[in-house]
A and B are shown apart, each in its own frame.
Chain A
Amino acid sequence: MDPPPLSLNQLSALLEAAPSPDDLYTSLSDYEEQACLLASQPDEVELLVDFYTAFFFSHLLTDQIHEARALTRRIPRDLLQTDSLQTCTLLLRAIWQRKHTEIYKILRELPWPERSRPVVQSYESYFQKKTLKEVSNSYEAIRPAAAASYLGLNANLAEQGDTAIIQKFTACGWRWDGETQLLHPKPIVTAPPKEHNLQNELSRVMALISNHGR
């Protein structure tokens, strides 16, 4: 079934409904055709900028960084020059280069369209959680300033041993060693994703054997 016509109200309703990242991506993906057709209409710039900003973030929220990059190539060039989509491009570059401090700075300090703010905040929270897991599993011991930078907290305060910041880490199960002034993260173990690829790989091998045996 075709989605209702894309409009600012429709987009707002969709974003305010706060669907899961996957649902948000699917819904916005269904609207891409309409957006593409509206692209030639100059009075729809606001709608399109808001749509593409939200769609861009739905890629990030579903960890589709390469596809997000591909999206920036599909967005009409004149729209890409708008502030919001320029900021998206900056953010993508920072994520690509894993510049954590820059990522938080872009998310928090650069202007975002009012309608996109919920999705920007969702991404900030998602990115923070994702990074917390990555740091927890990668570091055996970490200086508070480095940990704070990764999680978008005040690195200067952390370096001075600010109790509030240290408490944020200990609340996640990390251990604070006052003597060495180091934090000891607690690994976050999650069930590994199911290996759908393996099935494909083997099917591929069997198909090749089957074909080349002819």
Chain B
Amino acid sequence: MSDFLGRLSSVPSRPHDPDNISAERYDRQLRDLISYLKQPGVASSTSDYSDFFEIVSPSVHSLSFLFLLRFQIQLVQKRTKRDIPQNLHPGGDLWKQVVRFLRSFDPIQIRYAGYEWRQLVEVVASAAQAISKPALAVKVIADALGRLNTSGMFTSVHLTLVKLALLSSSYTHTLPIMDKVLCNFPTDTNHVHHETFLCSEHGSSAAFITDTSGFSTKLTYRDHLQFYLYSAMIYMALKRWDHASHCLSVVISSPTANSVSKIMVEAYKKWVLASLLGYGKLPPTSRMIAPHVTRVYQSLARPYVSLAEAFEKADLQKMSAEVDLGQSIWRDDKNTGLVSQLFEAYDKFMIIKLGRTFSALTIADVLQRAPSYFKDHYDTEEFVASLVMSDTLRATLSHLPGTESTTMLRFCLSTQFHAFREEHIRTRLMRGKSALNTIAKGIVQTDQTLELSDENLHFIARSQKWNGDPEKSGAVGSGEAGVGGDIDEDLMGDGH
């Protein structure tokens, strides 16, 4: 027992290690500990592990605590013959320990036990769903993912999280995870550079989240599409149309082999609605979508396209007819809520459009020139005022003197509104600065991804020269000229 406890507390997390040992030694210690904990005999060395939860700290001895939880869960599962035993249900003793761990684990130690960590997260999701309270798992999983810091890596846990969030209408805690750019998948272990240790500082999570690390199940094409579709649905619930459109664009522009999948068609339908609600029009589809794929989408989502056409042409009568005609379609596609918001969006964009033609007009003129579902002058003024007051419409209102209730709407030029305010000029400069910084960082990252670094191009050129096959090597390895010149030549060659 004391030997077991001694082993459990043998490797503290680095901030708690007084010896400040090297990364190499720390890596070896953690691997030894893992080997010990995975030994077949260890799990049965004691009958109950719950006493250890008060002795071992989840933040200092995270690996040990994680395995203790595993042992205890397996033990209780065996005893009760249930996958999710009672004390693992939310509020139960074991649930509390699991939550305690997921909110305080050391992310460095956990890099050595990705599979076990993910299994624990999945247990949390299942336990919350078992009592029909998926909301209870959302914050825990979001906190755990944030703590792990997957920095741009998509994992199956991300998908689990958005599913639960959507199921339980718990969006707020998911946003910090969803708002991060996810642009990598766990890659083949062979592609990961092994010069550093798992416990070392890594610029990217690709070093420790790989296809064999266990942090994610094997991801499929469907998982990726589902994640973005569900994320879009969450953004739509929060009326963050630009984010929703982006997520839906990712789904509809995903590569296709022969035909588009059902998820992609669903996403296209929602993309049409989100675009109308967010921008008042259908932006051109991404260039990454082949024209024939766009045609397939358009034919499979015909009622949506007709609706969008009526919206864009400002044909309110046709739009109303399309909405009525497609009631069962919107219902079957679960898009009734989005369609019902189109009328208000229509009015909003009609009024915004007036600002392109007029600099000022009365509310009575607005009512006349932007036919809508408004009943009267009062309704129109209330709606216009709400647009101006919420900053959706850059304009000002003026009540005119006299007894008759005339109100003038004056559209502001965008420059007129902000440009002369010192604060805004300062902010714009700051924005410019941060934009340049981000672009500069992105360029370096892109160069690395595209393997366009000078070193790499030199290496390719040299290795191709060594192969002694200048024909095959193309322009890159074809001569002594500089790297940039070679690429230009190659591109020109392709052009012919």
| Interface positions of B from 379 to 417, Cβ below 8 Å from A | 382, 385-386, 388-390, 396-401, 405, 410
- Please tell me if the beta carbons of A192 and B423 are within 8 angstroms of each other in the complex: yes
Query: Which residues of A lie under 8 Å from residue B100 when comparing CB positions?
Result: 2
Query: Which residues of A lie under 8 Å from residue B133 when comparing CB positions?
Result: 36-37
Q: Known A36-B136, A140-B410, A204-B181; judge A66-B439 contact (CB<8 A).
A: no
Cα A70 to Cα B441 in complex, Å, equals 37
Residue A214 interfacial (CB < 8 Å): yes
B89-118: CB near A (< 8 Å → 1, else 0) gives: 011000000001000000000000000000
- Please tell me if the beta carbons of A33 and B136 are within 8 angstroms of each other in the complex: yes
Stretch at the interface among A15-23, A119-127, A131-139, A164-172: A131-139
Q: How far is the CB of A60 from chain B (nearest CB, A)?
A: 14
A132-150: CB near B (< 8 Å → 1, else 0) gives: 0011011111110010000
Stretch at the interface among B32-40, B169-177, B300-308, B455-463: B169-177
Stretch at the interface among B80-88, B327-335, B443-451: B443-451
| Interface positions of B from 132 to 181, Cβ below 8 Å from A | 133, 135-136, 139, 152, 168-172, 179-181
10 closest residue pairs by CB, A with B: A206-B442, A207-B183, A180-B401, A134-B389, A202-B438, A73-B169, A210-B446, A70-B169, A140-B398, A138-B388
Stretch at the interface among A46-54, A78-86, A105-113, A193-201: A193-201
Residue B427 interfacial (CB < 8 Å): yes
Residue pairs across A and B with Cβ atoms less than 8 A apart, 29 shown, are A33-B136, A33-B139, A36-B136, A67-B171, A70-B237, A71-B169, A98-B390, A131-B389, A134-B390, A135-B389, A141-B398, A179-B401, A180-B401, A189-B421, A191-B423, A192-B423, A194-B427, A194-B430, A195-B431, A198-B438, A200-B181, A202-B435, A202-B438, A203-B438, A204-B246, A210-B445, A212-B288, A213-B449, A213-B450
Interface size of B as a range:
35 or more
**Partner among B237, B439, B442 whose Cβ is within 8 Å of the Cβ of A210:** B442
**Partner among A33, A143, A199 whose Cβ is within 8 Å of the Cβ of B438:** A199
Chain B residues near A (Cβ < 8 Å): 90-91, 100, 133, 135-136, 139, 152, 168-172, 179-181, 183, 237-239, 246, 288, 382, 385-386, 388-390, 396-401, 405, 410, 421, 423-424, 427, 430-431, 434-435, 438-439, 441-443, 445-446, 449-450
Cα A212 to Cα B250 in complex, Å, equals 11
Query: Which residues of B lie under 8 Å from residue A211 when comparing CB positions?
Result: 183, 449
Cα A208 to Cα B405 in complex, Å, equals 52
Q: Known A70-B237, A139-B397; judge A206-B169 contact (CB<8 A).
A: no
A160-188: CB near B (< 8 Å → 1, else 0) gives: 00000000000000000001111000000
- Please tell me if the beta carbons of A37 and B136 are within 8 angstroms of each other in the complex: yes
- Please tell me if the beta carbons of B399 and A182 are within 8 angstroms of each other in the complex: yes
Residue A74 interfacial (CB < 8 Å): yes
Q: How far is the CB of A206 from chain B (nearest CB, A)?
A: 3
Query: Which residues of B lie under 8 Å from residue A179 when comparing CB positions?
Result: 401
- Please tell me if the beta carbons of B424 and A192 are within 8 angstroms of each other in the complex: yes
Q: How far is the CB of B13 from chain A (nearest CB, A)?
A: 18
A23-54: CB near B (< 8 Å → 1, else 0) gives: 00000010011001100000000000000000
**Partner among A29, A137, A202 whose Cβ is within 8 Å of the Cβ of B442:** A202
- Given A37-B136, A74-B170, A192-B424, 4 other A-B contacts at CB below 8 A? A98-B389, A140-B410, A199-B434, A204-B246
Q: Known A180-B401, A202-B442; judge A74-B450 contact (CB<8 A).
A: no
- Please tell me if the beta carbons of A74 and B389 are within 8 angstroms of each other in the complex: no
Cα A140 to Cα B237 in complex, Å, equals 34
Residue A64 interfacial (CB < 8 Å): yes
| Max chain A C-beta neighbours (<10 A), residue from B396, B399, B445 | B399
Query: Which residues of A lie under 8 Å from residue B424 when comparing CB positions?
Result: 192
Cα A160 to Cα B449 in complex, Å, equals 71
Cα A213 to Cα B443 in complex, Å, equals 12
Query: Which residues of A lie under 8 Å from residue B431 when comparing CB positions?
Result: 195, 198
Q: Known A182-B401, A189-B421; judge A195-B439 contact (CB<8 A).
A: no
Cα A126 to Cα B431 in complex, Å, equals 30
What is the chain A residue whose CB lies nearest that of B400?
A141
- Please tell me if the beta carbons of B445 and A139 are within 8 angstroms of each other in the complex: no
What is the chain A residue whose CB lies nearest that of B249?
A208
Query: Which residues of A lie under 8 Å from residue B441 when comparing CB positions?
Result: 206
What is the chain B residue whose CB lies nearest that of A189?
B421
Q: How far is the CB of A79 from chain B (nearest CB, A)?
A: 14
- Please tell me if the beta carbons of B172 and A143 are within 8 angstroms of each other in the complex: no
**Partner among A74, A146, A207 whose Cβ is within 8 Å of the Cβ of B135:** A74
Query: Which residues of B lie under 8 Å from residue A142 when comparing CB positions?
Result: 397-399
Q: How far is the CB of A202 from chain B (nearest CB, A)?
A: 4
Query: Which residues of B lie under 8 Å from residue A64 when comparing CB positions?
Result: 172
Query: Which residues of B lie under 8 Å from residue A206 when comparing CB positions?
Result: 438-439, 441-443, 445-446
**Partner among B168, B237, B397, B446 whose Cβ is within 8 Å of the Cβ of A209:** B446
Q: How far is the CB of A129 from chain B (nearest CB, A)?
A: 14
- Please tell me if the beta carbons of A138 and B397 are within 8 angstroms of each other in the complex: yes
Q: How far is the CB of B251 from chain A (nearest CB, A)?
A: 14
Cα A211 to Cα B427 in complex, Å, equals 31
Q: Known A37-B91, A209-B442; judge A138-B396 contact (CB<8 A).
A: yes
Q: Known A74-B135, A214-B449; judge A98-B398 contact (CB<8 A).
A: no
Q: How far is the CB of B188 from chain A (nearest CB, A)?
A: 14
- Please tell me if the beta carbons of B238 and A67 are within 8 angstroms of each other in the complex: yes
Cα A40 to Cα B366 in complex, Å, equals 53
- Please tell me if the beta carbons of B427 and A195 are within 8 angstroms of each other in the complex: yes
Query: Which residues of B lie under 8 Å from residue A199 when comparing CB positions?
Result: 434, 438
Cα A214 to Cα B171 in complex, Å, equals 33
- Please tell me if the beta carbons of A140 and B169 are within 8 angstroms of each other in the complex: no
Query: Which residues of B lie under 8 Å from residue A98 when comparing CB positions?
Result: 382, 386, 389-390
Cα A32 to Cα B138 in complex, Å, equals 11
